[in-house]
Structure 1
Amino acid sequence: MKALLLENVHPLAETLLTDAGIDVKMVAGALDEDELITALDGVELVGIRSKTEVTPRVLANAPSLQAIGAFCIGTNQIALSDAAERGIVAFNAPFSNTRSVVELALAEIIVMARRLTEKDRALHDGVWDKNAKGSHEIRGRKLGIVGYGNIGSQLSVVAEMLGLQVYFYDTDDKLALGNARRCASLNELLDIAEVVTLHVDGRDGNAGFFGAEQFARMQPRSLFLNLSRGFLVDYDALREHLESGHIAGASVDVFPVEPKKRGDAFTSPLQGVPNVVLTPHIGGSTEEAQEDIGRFVASKLRDYVQHGSTTLNVNLPSLNVDNRSKGCRLMHFHLNTPGVLAKVNSVLATHGVNIDGQMLNTRGQTGYVVTDVSHGLSDAVLAELRQMPETIRLRVID
């Protein structure tokens, strides 16, 4: 079995997959659509980060592909529904870099509140500018968190420990942690908060989520952060409000268009604006987070290959299955219609195959059944199962 790992995935991922008997090829940068199609010829597993897009066209031209590992939080770069229709399971790392993003957000809030970028630039230019004008403590300030998921909720807890008053808004009904207070709407949060930070997911419907109207509603001389997705924010509108003085500072880690690899040219309307911190999508880029992401996602890919486990995947039914003791394991992705399990078992019974154990789960239009049998399966059995009109993909582990 072959695996392709792109975008400087942590070496631990290569080690874990290689130890599982998988032939791993590492590529430093991202690949465009045509390059990825060529690279996936004969490859069963692919690992990416945020720059490589696994499009419907890529999936249609990668018949060997069985699983995708997103070595990051976001999965909007993967055509998940198309992958599900082909029985290709996708995993991500929803928790591994949470702390790294939280610490960067807090560091940037302090940097902006103290206007450290301007002090730093002045000293590099040989100017001694020692004064307190425009420099503030963060203690007691009102922090507004937009998106109260894994990152937003942890930021809430740590920020409160530093003395910030925390408010949050989320479209889902989330439990407030500590003394955080839930806002009924985004506008309510913007009316209150002195610091607004976005931690919103990358679904298509969130494009253009934060623009001129929202910046105008923010408190005068407030601070703004986006460490979630670049296409959420109108950065031209942000620049206008920074230059007018309505927004006192901004920190941005993500952009609508980002270079494919380190060293490529970068442009943004926010370049050159005072008290603006620009970072190259490094929210989760700490050595600790990348190592944990490498371990987590590679382990999920390994467990799927070896056992058929789909626990914590993002697009297909989830089954937590461990190693079989003997015989072989049959893994069957199928259309979620009535009677499929009965058909599978009828085929096995007709050919005299005894079932040792069986698990089934469904998700949306797809079902997934794992069946353990005592002995190997004949070509006739496998052919009959593959020919079932409901079958999406059939895998066998001997």
Structure 2
Amino acid sequence: MARVLVSDKLSPTAVQIFKDRGVEVDYLPDLGKDKDKLLEVIDQYDGLAIRSATKVTEKLIAAATKLKVIGRAGIGVDNVDIPAASRRGIIVMNTPFGNSITTAEHAIALIFAVARELPEANASTHAGKWEKNRFMGVEITGKTLGVIGCGNIGSIVATRGVGLRMHVVAFDPFLSEERARELGVEKVELEELFTRSDFITLHTPLTDKTRGIINADAIAKMKDGVRIINCARGGLIVEKDLIEGLKSGKVAGAGIDVFEVEPATDNELFQFPNVVCTPHLGASTSEAQENVALQIAEQMADYLVRGAVSNAINMPSITAEEAPRLKPFVKLAEVLGAFVGQVTDEPIKEVEILFDGATATMNTRALMSATLAGLIRPQVSDVNMVSAPIMVKERGIIVSEVKRDKSGVFDGYIKLTVKTPSMTRTIAGTCFSDGKPRFIQIKGINLDAEVGHHMLYTTNPDAPGIIGLLGTICGANDVNIANFQLGRDRPGGDAIALLYLDAPFPEKALNDLRTNPKIASAKRLQFDVN
């Protein structure tokens, strides 16, 4: 039974979800704050469910010898060392949609608060003053709202803005014209958004490209009296530049929920009455907190019990529905990669993975990850589908994917081509109705070979006596042959033999084969077929 640790406060309903799905769970909501104690016990768990209090560092990940998945109840994963988790093959999940409406509504609330100076008016009235003429706000109807980042949250803000009769312009490199029309927004470039917007709201992740996207140069391009809202990530706005804009009057107001340094207990922005500041409340509603807790429990349980992967930061998603159909082909992909990885002694320069027919309609990202994992496992034993793409990239290997319609007798198959400095290797395989992987082509030579745990692969000139030679050597070394497949490119040309054995082929027998003039090459292979 899989075992999960919940080290931050999570809904009791979420804890029950783990139990209902057959996952053992330890609910220790204060453990995340005790780094030393967490480090002591983390090696007991397959899964770790967290919020923001638990810091999943490289040191913690190194100690988590059993850990398979980390689940963050929320969208932000700043408290998880994702590269370290990926190198260890640990899936990192979040819940990007559980607090989308809540965060979008908070951005809209800040637009209203900044437009009508509500916090200051409230404080003044509570102080017994009646300063009706002091607080002269602006209407938002008819104003232009600029949305930077029109993904899940940004698109909700955009549609709310349209509903408030604002004219919405949006900048997002991945926003299609069709999607923009569907949302009722105008797609523009970033500089045009700056020059046209009365209100600007940020809804983009913090990356090297987006860090400081609102800076002095950007503010200089904006309308006089612009109002800026940030409910996304601290660091998107250069705070010292925003402060200068507020001092000069270029920026009429701002609504800030996230800061460059958090918790923000002493920030110069607090000095400005036209700046509404909240303590990272974007996701802070009872509905959102419950939603993300339930979602992360469901996602982690689905992965640990059924192999389904959803909302993973470092792994292709595999839905619960497609997992049963995909599983045999994931194994096939691993086997194809493992075959080439075991017979290739030179550094690999390029990898091409071809998906033909039915396989082209599957989750090919997952299949590619599985292929790469099998390919480099002979050199890196602890690699898996999560860490393989990173390790391949670090080694400078070029990876490409090809999809095509059915082109042969099989409904679907996978073909792997690997290039080294001196040669090109190819292998293809498919799964039959029994779900077991089969080799159907090696070196361009067709065959039909069942995959076994222990195998022997030889290449040789097509000539009489090869079957007898291999059979005699196996018999002399007390190795039983479960299956024997041969293939050749033409009579008298190149030939291959693939033997499925009941036990490993002995080293001495392997050396005898390699020195035999009838054998060009011989490789002992091993596959995980469970």
Same fold per superposition (TM over 0.5)? yes
SS at match of 2:150: coil
State which of 238, 249, 252 in structure 2 corresponds to 1:234. Answer: 238
Name the amino acid aligned to 1:97. N
- Equivalent residue for 2:337, pick from 335, 340, 347: 340
Q: How many residue pairs get matched?
A: 361
Q: Distance in 1 between matches of 2:304 and 2:43?
A: 18
C-alpha RMSD over aligned residues = 3.8
Q: Which has the larger radius of gyration?
A: 2
**1:334-381, CA deviations, whole angstroms, 9 ceiling, x for partnerless residues?**
9x888236689xxxxxxxxxxxxx9962349557599989xxxxx99x
Comparing 270-279 and 24-33, the one that deviates more? 24-33
Kindly indicate whether the alpha-carbon contact (under 8 Å) linking 2:6 and 2:25 is maintained by their aligned counterparts in 1. Answer: no
Check whether the contact 1:70–1:92 (CA below 8 A) recurs between aligned residues.
yes
TM-score norm. by structure 1 comes to: 0.79
Cα gap change, 1:39/1:191 in structure 2, threshold over 3 Å: closer, same or farther?
Answer: farther
Q: 2:71 aligns with which of 69, 72, 76?
A: 69
Shift of 1:173: 3.6
Q: Distance in 1 between matches of 2:29 and 2:329?
A: 30
Q: Aligned-pair distance for 1:207?
A: 2.5
Which residues of 2 match residues 94-133 of structure 1 at below 5 A? 94-131=96-133
- For structure 1, which segment, 304-313 or 131-140, has the greater mean C-alpha deviation from structure 2 after superposition? 131-140
Please say if residues 226 and 252 of structure 2, whose CA atoms lie closer than 8 Å, have aligned partners that are also in contact: yes
Partner of 1:152: 154
Give the 3 Å change call, closer, same or farther, for CA 102–322 of structure 1 in structure 2.
closer
Are residues 337 and 307 of structure 1, via their aligned partners in 2, closer, same or farther at CA, if it must alter by over 3 Å? closer
Which shifted more, 361-370 or 93-102?
361-370
Distance 1:315 1:191, change over 3 A: same
Find 2:253's aligned residue among 249, 253, 267: 249
For 2:224, the equivalent position in structure 1 comes to: 220
- For 1:163, the equivalent position in structure 2 comes to 165
List runs of 5+ in structure 2 lacking aligned partners: 342-361, 374-383, 387-430, 437-452, 455-503, 505-523
Quote the offset at 1:257 in angstroms. 2.3
Aligned counterparts of 2:294 and 2:525: Cα–Cα separation in 1 = 37
State the percentage of identical aligned residues: 31
The answer to which of 186-195 and 239-248 deviates more is: 239-248
**Letter of the structure 1 residue corresponding to residue 185 of structure 2:** A
Residues in 2 aligned to 1:273 and 1:134: alpha-carbon distance in whole angstroms: 16
Gaps of 5+ in 1: 260-264, 345-357, 374-378
Structure 2: distance between partners of 1:273 and 1:35: 43
Query: Match of 1:179?
Result: 184
Length-normalised TM-score, structure 2: 0.60
Aligned partners of 2:146 and 2:198 also within 8 Å: yes
> What's the counterpart of residue 4 of structure 1?
5
Separation in 1, partners of 2:266, 2:529: 46
**Equivalents in 2 of 1:390, 1:207: separation in Å?**
48
2:207 is aligned with 1:208: no
**Equivalent pair of 1:307/1:322 in contact (CA under 8 Å):** no
- Contact (CA 8 Å) 2:239, 2:260: kept in 1 or not? no
Q: Tell me the equivalent position of 1:362.
A: 368
CA contact (8 A) 1:55 1:78 kept: yes
| Partner SS state of residue 232, structure 1 | coil
Matched, 1:190 2:187: no
Contact 2:150 2:175 (C-alpha < 8 Å) held by counterparts: no
In 2, Cα distance between equivalents of 1:293 and 1:209: 29
C-alpha distance in 2 between matches for 1:230 and 1:15: 34
Q: Deviations over 1:25-62 (max 9, x none)?
A: 23248548656534523222112234544333332221
> Contact 1:331 / 1:368 at 8 angstroms: preserved in 2?
no
Secondary structure of 2:65's counterpart equals coil
Distance 1:309 1:280, change over 3 A: same
Q: 1:117 to 1:323 in 2, by over 3 A?
A: closer
Distance change in 2, residues 1:389/1:161 (3 Å): farther
